[in-house]
Amino acid sequence: MSVCRRRAARDAHGVPSRQYRLVVAGELSDPIGRAFEGMNVSLDGGNTVLVGPLRDQAELHGLLQRVSDFGLTLLSANAIEDETTPESPETAPH
C-alpha cells in the first residue's frame, strides 16, 4: 500500500513553506507590527491577524517567541491552505 502526500508550497526562493495564521488580542502599534516583517498584518474585530509563509517549525517557534517577547496574548495559531494560489501538478493531492 502506497501513501501519496501533498508536497509543501514553495516560497519565491524555492524553499518549502506553509501558510500560517496567528491571531493576537488587540491592535499592534506600528513599531511592534514592523517586528513581524514578512507577515500580512490586518485587523479583525479589534484583534490583529498575522498571515504568511513559514519555512519550518523553527521559524514558527521564532514567531511565537516574538509574540511572547512583546507580551502579546496569542488567541490562535493555525496552519492554513493557501487558497489564493492555484494548485500545480506538484502540489495537487494524489
Contact 57, 14 (CB under 8 A): no
Query: Rounded to whole angstroms, how far apart are CA atoms 25 and 84?
Result: 26
Residue 54 sits in a domain whose CATH number is 3.30.70
Torsion from C-alpha of 82, 86, 87, 91, nearest 10 degrees: -40
What nine digits make up the cell of 69? 517577547
Query: What domain range includes position 59?
Result: 16-80
In terms of Cβ atoms closer than 10 Å to its own Cβ (0-12, 13-18, 19+), residue 60 is: middle
- State residue 15's pLDDT score: 60
Q: Is 63 among the domain residues?
A: yes
Q: How many domains does the chain have?
A: 1
Q: What is the pLDDT along the chain (94 residues), one digit of tens a residue?
A: 444 344 445 555 566 789 999 999 999 999 999 999 999 999 999 999 999 999 999 999 999 999 999 999 999 999 997 555 444 444 445 4
The 10 Å CB-count burial string (b at 16+, else e) for 16-29 is: ebbbbebbbeeebe
Q: Is 90 among the domain residues?
A: no
Q: Is 46 among the domain residues?
A: yes
- State residue 43's pLDDT score: 96
Q: Is 6 among the domain residues?
A: no
What predicted TM-score, i.e. pTM, was given to this entire model? 0.71
Q: Is 8 among the domain residues?
A: no
- State residue 16's pLDDT score: 75
Helix (H) or strand (E) holding 16: strand 16-24
Q: Is 38 among the domain residues?
A: yes
